[in-house]
Amino acid sequence: MNDEEETYKLWRIRKTVMQLCHDRGYLVTQDELDMSIGQFKQQFGDKPSEKRPSRADLIVLVAHNDDPTDQMFVFFPEEPKVGIKTIKQYCTRMQEENISKAILVVQTGMTPSAKQSLVDMAPKYILEQFLENELLLNITEHQLVPEHVIMTPEEKKELLDRYKLKEAQLPRIQQGDPVARYFGLKRGQVVKIVRPSETAGMYITYRIVV
């Protein structure tokens, strides 16, 4: 991949990452969300082959709108297949800055021991993994993907009470579903899915994350 293609790819990935953080309720400026390829080159460079930018330059740290102490890193490892040494370095940084959540944007994958370390560190440290190719496009903007709205615990309780339902009676969405991963949904959370309907204008369903 030449520098032009690689720069374009990194710009697209970082743009999706910013949208993902914003959609999870983290504070992201409009300038970050709207950053053009020209602005990206100006800020980070356009020669990835010469480490301008290096992936480490793209690191993101965001704070949540509702709770500024709820912060999250987004790391972009340099190595194509991430090993346990890199995970440990990230964990050390998270410890030093008192941050318990991070997303890793990996190029081709992770070694088995690195994957296992993510499991072992939870729930103290939550590290999610996305492949670069998964973030080239924002899945929630695809025309075939309906709008997903995450319900608060209060809204979930109100829904169950109103229809006299138990959690087990709700349709399910898997935690590994691409949209569930994009929003970082946890087991037990409920999403409202809004689809356009020719007859009713809108067709609403609810799903619980399992």
Report yes or no: 28 and 37 within 8 Å, Cβ to Cβ: no
Tell me, what DSSP letter sits at residue 39? H
Q: From 52, 111, 50, 102, select the one nearest 79 (Cα to Cα).
A: 111
Record the pTM.
Answer: 0.93
pLDDT in tens, 75-103: 999 999 999 999 999 999 999 999 999 99
C-alpha pair distances (Å), 165 with each of 22, 173, 192, 208: 32, 17, 15, 12
Name the pLDDT band for 1 (thresholds 50, 70, 90): confident
pLDDT in tens, 62-77: 999 999 999 999 999 9
